[in-house]
Amino acid sequence: MKHIILSLLAVVAVVTQAQNMPFVTKVYDFLPAPGQFVNMSPKFNDGDTKDVILERVAEKICGKIEIEENELPDGTIVNDTIITVSAGYVSLGSYGGYVVFGFDHPVVNVKGEYDMQIFGNATQSDQRPVLGGSSEPGIVMVSRDVNGNGVPDDPWYELAGSEYNHPKTQKHFTITYYKPDDSQFGPLGPMQYHDQYIRWTSNSVDSIQEGYIRKNSFHAQSYWPQWTEGNTLTFEGTKLRCNAQNFSATANDWHQYFFGWGYVDNRPDDWYGYKQNATNIAPEELNKGFKIDWAVDDEGNPVELKQIDFVKVYNAMLQDCGWLGETSTEVAGAIDLHSDAVAEPDDVVGDVNGDGFVTSADVTAIYDVLLGIDNTFAGTADVNCDGFVTSADVTAVYDLLLGTVN
């Protein structure tokens, strides 16, 4: 299958006779943290509800446009006649802002291979191409529709990237933003700022536990998501260390270093050899995609997932870069890299150890997780799908063994 990219904002792939649509087809949730592109990507109009905003997000990162070969933009080379184009990107704002999406089918975990590519708009620096450029890393979470209700209300697992075990990576980071009175922050002249615009507090282990999202002269709209209710927004997750450096004390020559791998909008994307937003960067320096094999639970234990149904991307950076503003992950769509792969048979309810049967061994596996003896089956020990592994899961397996429930 040949793949190309038309532009910075357009992701393109040749459409095959695949049974499943390889691109994103559904947006379940979208909540950006405050930021300079909020209410712009996507656009907010007075009176818009969250449902309207979700529709606009879907227009940006979902769907397909079929184009005949003679309608392709100049310079595009493709052997097949039909391509698929995603329309743009959405901005997640400052730390914690997220989008939740899915496909029209489960994404299968093909062992040892990249399962998905999630696109951003990271770019390579002309001056310092090896070090990075514009890199705004977002963390990927995945979830299986265990309860079968088609809603992403099941346990989430982080795809652990290269920085997961870095000493400056903070797990269980929590931040709260406080809604500003926008009437107090009027127009700005060129290169001016409202330094104390949107206040935030956090549980940071660094010396800085509070601060502000600044407002700059480039974006005059409110940076607070206008369709939300309440006066605070709180986000929790993993926070990555800052990756930006100003190479000039006077010129604001900001540069954001690439992290190794495993993050959205971190490096120019590599799609079957095509280098997006990169010129001289080596292939091994590109973002190759994401493996479901990287999944870990809340305590960092590896989790085996045969397939996943939901994907969440959130901004993992809390960082201000002078005139560039806050670091904000952008998401420009996604693709299942093997959309016709067939997963192993669905797990049997209560089959914690994955042997295909519900037996007393599954009870033992739950106790091992509860007692911290062996976390191998931590991802399947939550039999009743309440988000926790407790004695109630033991009871659920016994009920299955005794035929109390079906």
> Using one digit for the tens of pLDDT, what is the confidence trace for 57-81?
999 998 654 444 444 443 343 333 3
Determine what percent of the chain is predicted with pLDDT higher than 70: 82
How far is 49 from 341, CA to CA, in rounded Å? 37
Write down the number of H helices and E strands in the chain. Answer: 3, 25
User: Does 269 lie in the same domain as 205?
Assistant: yes
Residue 79 pLDDT: 38
Q: Can you tell me which residue has the tokens 């995609």?
A: 289
User: Does 387 lie in the same domain as 239?
Assistant: no
User: Does 377 lie in the same domain as 306?
Assistant: no
List the one residue out of 97, 78, 110, 104 whose CA is nearest residue 37: 97
Residue 347 placed within a domain = no
Residue 290 pLDDT: 97
User: Does 144 lie in the same domain as 9?
Assistant: yes
User: Does 197 lie in the same domain as 303?
Assistant: yes
Residue 76 pLDDT: 41
User: Does 383 lie in the same domain as 299?
Assistant: no
Residue 397 placed within a domain = yes
How far is 351 from 191, CA to CA, in rounded Å? 60
Task: List, for residues 291-330, the tens digit of each pLDDT value.
Answer: 999 999 999 999 989 999 999 999 999 999 888 889 999 9
Residue 345 placed within a domain = no
List the one residue out of 297, 294, 379, 326 whose CA is nearest residue 96: 326
Residue 346 placed within a domain = no
Instruction: Tell me: cis bond preceding 167? Omega within 30 of 0 counts.
Output: no
Please give the residue that has the higher pLDDT: either 79 or 381.
381
Task: Give the up-direction half-sphere exposure of residue 23: CA atoms within 13 A in the CB hemisphere.
Answer: 23
User: Does 278 lie in the same domain as 231?
Assistant: yes
User: Does 304 lie in the same domain as 208?
Assistant: yes
Residue 343 placed within a domain = no
Residue 350 placed within a domain = no
User: Does 197 lie in the same domain as 138?
Assistant: yes
Instruction: Record the pTM.
Output: 0.79
Residue 342 placed within a domain = no
Mean pLDDT of all residues belonging to the chain: 84
Count how many domains the chain has. Answer: 2
User: Does 186 lie in the same domain as 101?
Assistant: yes
How far is 192 from 180, CA to CA, in rounded Å? 18
How far is 140 from 134, CA to CA, in rounded Å? 19
**Sign of dihedral through CA atoms 294, 298, 304, 309?**
negative
The domain in which residue 271 lies consists of 3-336
Q: Can you tell me which residue has the tokens 């712009």?
A: 40
**Strands, E, within 291-336: which ranges?**
295-296, 307-308, 310-315, 330-331, 334-336
User: Does 194 lie in the same domain as 69?
Assistant: yes
The answer for residues whose C-beta is within 8 angstroms of residue 32's C-beta and 6 or more apart is 38, 90, 91, 92, 93, 97, 98, 225
What are the φ/ψ torsions at residue 398 (nearest 5 degrees)? -60, -40
Residue 306 placed within a domain = yes
What are the φ/ψ torsions at residue 202 (nearest 5 degrees)? -150, 175
How far is 12 from 89, CA to CA, in rounded Å? 14
**Would you place residue 339 in the very low, low, confident or very high pLDDT band (cuts 50, 70, 90)?**
confident
Q: Can you tell me which residue has the tokens 């899961």?
A: 393
User: Does 35 lie in the same domain as 115?
Assistant: yes
How far is 276 from 119, CA to CA, in rounded Å? 10
